[in-house]
Structure formats: C-alpha cells, structure tokens
Chain A
Amino acid sequence: MLSMNRRTLLGGLAAGTTSLWPQSRVFAQATPSRITVTSYGGIFEGVVRDTFVADFTKRTGVAADIQLGNPSQWMSQVEANPDKPPIDVVISSIDLVIEVGKKNLLEKPTVEKVPNLADVPQYFVDMCQGWGVCFDYGSGGIAYHKGRVKNPPKSLREFVDRTAKGEWRASLPTVAFQPSLQLLIWSLNDALGGTLDNITPVIDAVKQMKPNTVFWSSVTDFLNHLQSGEADIGLYYDGRVWAAYDSGMTFLDFINPSEGAVMTPIAAVKPTNAPPIAWEYINSMLAPGPQTEFGNRMNFGMTNKNVQYSEKVKGRITPWEKTRLPPVDRMAPHVSLWVERWNKEIGA
C-alpha cells in the first residue's frame, strides 16, 4: 500500500481522467497554426508584438499568442508538462535556463535550426551552457537622482563607503526579489573581494549601510523611492532607468561602476517537445531588423552584432565587454546558505 509512489499514484489518476477529458493540445509534430510565446508585460509586450511576432508571422504565416508573466511561472509550467509543453518559446534569466536545461527539458539551438545564430557572439550561447541563446541584455549598476546627488560615486566600493557614512539614503533590492542575488549579493561581494564560499564582505557592508538604506521589492518600487524622496541612489538596471527617463523622470542618471555592471541577459529557449516552428520564432528574435527596433525602443543591449542603435540609444547601452557575468551555475549550490545568512544577519 504505502510503497505506492507518486508516479504510480498520479499515473493511475491520469489514466482515469485523460480518457474523460479531451486533450487541449495535439501531440503531432505537424506545424500548428499558432504558437505560444512569452513576454513581460507593459511596453515590453507591445514591442515584442511589433518586432519579433510581426517578423515571425510575416515570414511563416503562423500566428503567435503572447503569454504574460514571469520566467519562474513559465518554466514551472514547462516542468509540469514535459511531454506537451504549454509554451513554445520561453524567455528567461539564464540561471533558470541552466537549471531547467540540465533536466533535459530544453533543446539546444544550432546554426542549422536558427541561421541568425551565426551573427550572435558565442559568449551569449555559452552563458546559457548551450541550452538557449540570449537576445538582449541589461546591466545592473548604480542609478541616482541628479538633483540630490551632485557628486555620484564612481565605484561600488565608493558607493558602499559613502552610504555607510550617511551622505545619502540608498535603495537596495530585498532578497525576496530574485535578481538581487546577482545585483546585490554577488556583485557587492565580488567588488569587495569576497568569494562564493565567503560572503562576509557583502554582509558586513550591508550592515554598515543599513541605517541609511531602504529596500525595494519590485522594480517599480525603486523608482517610487527616488521619486518620493525615500531614497536618493541605489542599485538598479540601465534599461529601466532610461525607460523611466523617457517617460518624464528626467532627474535620473545611471553609472556603470568601475568594477563593471552586472550582466543581466534574457535568453530565449525552446522546450524539448515544442514543435520545430518555434526555432523560426527564435530566429526572428535574433534577426538584425527586429533586434534594432527592439533595442532602440527598449534601451536594451542587443546580441546580434549587426544591430545599429539610434544616436540617442547608442550612448545609453553599456557594452557587454565592460560588464561582469555572474557565475550563475556555480552560485546555485550556495544560494540557500546565502539567503539563510542574509535573513539571520540582515533580515530584509
């Protein structure tokens, strides 16, 4: 009785129910008339629709429905339905790509399947360990209020020291915001001489900064803080700074610290059992035309080497050579300990 494991349990239930319920998706590998792709919401979605989806549909005649949300939700759905993934192309941060890829739930792109891959530096495939390819990237550095911070710091080390002294109030991401592992813990620790095994440098630094610090828990929180005077400076992403700048928050500016901003790429991946037409969508995501428009409208760095940014955007893009790539794969085993230590000693 008790030796019945969850596979047999679920298998039994599945056998009982699948016969009663029609399958919502067809297994056949024949080209479907529409596919499902993913996007963040807001402006991002509008631009995805106008660039990648438009190019894909024009070339193939296949429609693409956009599913909004975030990568951990999409990847969970793929993991829960490995045989018939509900999504055909997922965009995701690279730590999740590697984690899910290792379970063989993703298919590796090649130049034969995705011709435009030839124009993307190998760097953007290697960072996914081959399980996908990055189509754009942002950089995590220092953002500040020009009116209130006249003499901004040049490096992360300077930022930490002057925050600890109380020269301004800083806004840092809370640890419940997933990217803060890279943007805050890894980045400051690395800049202050720590290692993956030893995060004492960043813990001590944040302890010193804490009296002059507020924490943000969603990306719009940070803008709220700077706008309302709750904070004057903080760790944030370049693309988001420029988007806010263009919407009227012209008091913002961004600095790539001398240690190097944190490379924050977005990868495109195809789940193993998604139909081959999904490669065509990824090919559109890597094509120079759609990428140029995407980069110019979103202020993100793009990965196709033939992209020509507009004059306005060119100066805003942080070159990827001047960023630091967090070792997401090697970080993974340490993360639980990091967060536990953070909770016990910092608690934010």
Chain B
Amino acid sequence: MIRRLLPRKVRAESCAPDAALLLYVVLFFAFMLLPIIIVVVVAFSATEYITFPIQGVSLRWFRRIYEYRPFFNSLRVTLEIAFLSALFGALLGVPAALALTRWKHPIASLAMTFLLSPLSMPFIVLGFALLFFLSAVGFGASFLSLLIAHTVVSLPYVVRTVAGVYRGLSPNLEESALVLGASKWQAFRYVTLPMIRPGIFAGCLFAILLSVDNLPISFFFGSPATSTLPVVMLSYLENSFDPSIAAVSTVQLVFALTFLLVIERFYGLKGMAPAS
C-alpha cells in the first residue's frame, strides 16, 4: 500500500537488493540442507554398510526400524520427554522472564544470568552430577529424573526468548488496558500473552528440538523403560554399521516436519507473529 506512495526511483532501487537477498537465501538453505539430503539418500541405500553415493535403492532399512524394537520404544519416550520438558520449562520460565525483564533492580541482571547459566554447563557434567544427586534423593534412573534433567535445560531457552521479545514491547499497551479498566489478569491474558507468543513459541521449539537430540544427559538416565532415541542410536552404531541409522534419522525428520505442519495448520507458524 504504502509502497505505491514511494517515489518511483526508490521503488526501482529496491528491486536489485531484493534479488541479491533472494539469491543469498537460496544459497543459505542449500548449505543448511545439503548434509541432511545426504542422510536421507543414504537411508534408501541397498547395501548393508553405509556408503555414498549409494549403490542401489531399497526400503529394507525402514523395515529394520520396525523390526528393531528399541528404536520404536525409545521414540515414544523421547517425544514424551521433549514435550513435557518444554511444557514445564514454559510454566516456570515465562513468569520468570516477565518478572525480570522490567524489574529495574540491579539484582535483575544477576538473576537473569543465573536462570540462563545451565546453558553453558556441558551437558555431560550436568547429567553426571544429576544422576548422583537424584539417586541420592531417591529418584534413581527413572522417567521423572529424565524429565527433571531435561527441564533444567529447557527452562533457559524459554526465559531468554520470552525476555528478548518482551523487552522489545512497549509497556504502554498494557498500561492502556489497565487504564481502560481491565484487571491485571485480563491485561495479561488479552494483551501481554498474545504479544509474547512468538517468544514462547521459539523457546518451546528450541527446547523440544534440543531435547530430542540430547545425548549427554539422557544417557545417564537410561533404563529398559527410559532409553531415548539418541542413546539407542549411539549404542546401535557401536556394533552395526548399517544405513538403518540414516533411516531412523529420516523418520525422525518426517515426524518433526509433520509436527510443524500440524502447528502450522491449527495454530499457524506465523503464530510466531503477535496476534493483531
């Protein structure tokens, strides 16, 4: 709309950079996707060992996933842990981010640093420490322990992304709502929450994605009932060098894409965007 108001010269000038940007975007995604495409291609390999380029095409490695029960069982555990840890991360993290962002006290920076600190601890140290600690307090190597450990990691993502978005928003909107007679809860529910949605979305997405691929923490809490997919995949690779790992990765990819599509369908990835 406004574009039409722009002087003609400005409009012409804006085409060349757009083309350059588009070209860059295409190159960038070629870079992002290349290694993944190789993995997907290997999944359809006919040979019993991993090689690229592949010699012959077959679906046998997808059948192997179905036959090798640990792959299937661990996938369920992996997904449950990922979603629950993101949920708990959000329940704890969103209020904390809102509280600390506009708090002008010097302690706020320190508190924020503290909430983000788990990010910088190598996961293997965290996993090891948590195993001994949670065992000592009686939780052992259980689903609950695994969930607690993953939540420690997911919390900082939600805190940081929500804080990042919330800081950029003008407090005036909420103030106006209050002035117009909304209760604090209503102002939060109908003004703040819709605006910070992109932050919550991004934080939870990060948390889920990292949880699904987290090996160094999960592996300390493995048991026949709580092994996650990366743990099973790694131990599979110890003794079998066949393309079924690539097939599992491909299935994982399809699952994840489906999940994103479902969000897109019912919620809109543009739910990244604040509801207007």
B192 touches A (CB below 8 Å): no
Type the 1/0 row for A69-90, where 1 means its CB is closer than 8 Å to any CB of B: 1100100110111001010000
Type the 1/0 row for A9-41, where 1 means its CB is closer than 8 Å to any CB of B: 010011001100101110000000000100011
Type the 1/0 row for B59-87, where 1 means its CB is closer than 8 Å to any CB of A: 00000000010100000000000000000
**Complex: A213 Cα to B42 Cα, angstroms:** 27
> CB-CB < 8 A to B120: which residues of A?
none
> CB-CB < 8 A to B131: which residues of A?
76-77, 80
**Complex: A220 Cα to B246 Cα, angstroms:** 14
CB neighbors of B among A279-338 (8 A): none
B140 close to A81 (CB less than 8 A): yes
Give min CB distance, B131 to chain A, whole Å: 5
**Complex: A243 Cα to B224 Cα, angstroms:** 26
A247 close to B135 (CB less than 8 A): no
CB neighbors of B among A215-256 (8 A): 218-220, 223-224, 227, 240, 243-244, 247-249
> CB-CB < 8 A to A41: which residues of B?
70, 232-240
A223 close to B141 (CB less than 8 A): no
A223 close to B49 (CB less than 8 A): yes
A69 in contact with B224 given A223-B49, A247-B242 (CB within 8 Å) = no
The one of B68, B132, B136, B224 in contact with A14, judged by C-beta atoms closer than 8 angstroms, is B136
> CB-CB < 8 A to B220: which residues of A?
73, 76-77
B231 close to A42 (CB less than 8 A): no
A247 close to B48 (CB less than 8 A): yes
A43 in contact with B240 given A69-B235, A76-B128, A247-B49 (CB within 8 Å) = yes
Central interface residue in B131, B133, B141, by most chain A CB within 10 Å: B141
A66 touches B (CB below 8 Å): yes
B140 close to A86 (CB less than 8 A): yes
Residue of B nearest to A14 (CB): B137
A44 touches B (CB below 8 Å): yes
Give min CB distance, A60 to chain B, whole Å: 18
> CB-CB < 8 A to A81: which residues of B?
135, 140-141
> CB-CB < 8 A to B142: which residues of A?
24
**Complex: A218 Cα to B138 Cα, angstroms:** 34
B interface bracket (residues with beta carbon within 8 Å of A)? 35 or more
A204 touches B (CB below 8 Å): no
A340 touches B (CB below 8 Å): no
A45 touches B (CB below 8 Å): yes
The one of B132, B138, B224, B240 in contact with A67, judged by C-beta atoms closer than 8 angstroms, is B224
A80 in contact with B238 given A67-B227, A68-B231, A224-B50 (CB within 8 Å) = no
B190 touches A (CB below 8 Å): no
Give min CB distance, B72 to chain A, whole Å: 13
**Complex: A18 Cα to B134 Cα, angstroms:** 11
B47 touches A (CB below 8 Å): yes
A10 in contact with B136 given A36-B224, A86-B141 (CB within 8 Å) = yes
A21 close to B222 (CB less than 8 A): no
Give min CB distance, B223 to chain A, whole Å: 6
**Complex: A67 Cα to B138 Cα, angstroms:** 20
Give min CB distance, B235 to chain A, whole Å: 3
Residue of A nearest to B224 (CB): A65
Tell me how many residues of A have a C-beta within 8 Å of chain B: 43
> CB-CB < 8 A to B50: which residues of A?
220, 224, 227
**Complex: A13 Cα to B138 Cα, angstroms:** 9
> CB-CB < 8 A to B117: which residues of A?
none
Residue of A nearest to B67 (CB): A46
B258 touches A (CB below 8 Å): no
**Complex: A70 Cα to B238 Cα, angstroms:** 9
> CB-CB < 8 A to A240: which residues of B?
239
Give min CB distance, B99 to chain A, whole Å: 27
Give min CB distance, A87 to chain B, whole Å: 8
> CB-CB < 8 A to B140: which residues of A?
24-25, 81, 84, 86
**Complex: A40 Cα to B236 Cα, angstroms:** 7
B49 close to A67 (CB less than 8 A): no
> CB-CB < 8 A to B232: which residues of A?
41, 68
The one of A40, A65, A73, A223 in contact with B241, judged by C-beta atoms closer than 8 angstroms, is A223
**Complex: A223 Cα to B233 Cα, angstroms:** 17
Residue of A nearest to B47 (CB): A248
Give min CB distance, A128 to chain B, whole Å: 21
Central interface residue in B47, B68, B70, B225, by most chain A CB within 10 Å: B70
A36 close to B241 (CB less than 8 A): no
**Complex: A10 Cα to B235 Cα, angstroms:** 33
Give min CB distance, A298 to chain B, whole Å: 8
B137 close to A17 (CB less than 8 A): yes
Given known contacts A73-B222, A227-B51, what 10 new A-B pairs fall within 8 Å (CB)? A17-B137, A23-B138, A41-B235, A41-B237, A66-B224, A68-B231, A68-B236, A69-B222, A219-B237, A247-B241
Give me 22 A-to-B residue pairs in the complex whose CB atoms sit less than 8 angstroms apart, sorted by A's number.
A14-B137, A21-B144, A25-B140, A36-B223, A41-B232, A41-B236, A42-B236, A42-B238, A45-B70, A45-B239, A65-B224, A68-B70, A68-B222, A69-B235, A73-B222, A220-B241, A223-B241, A224-B50, A243-B240, A247-B48, A247-B49, A248-B48
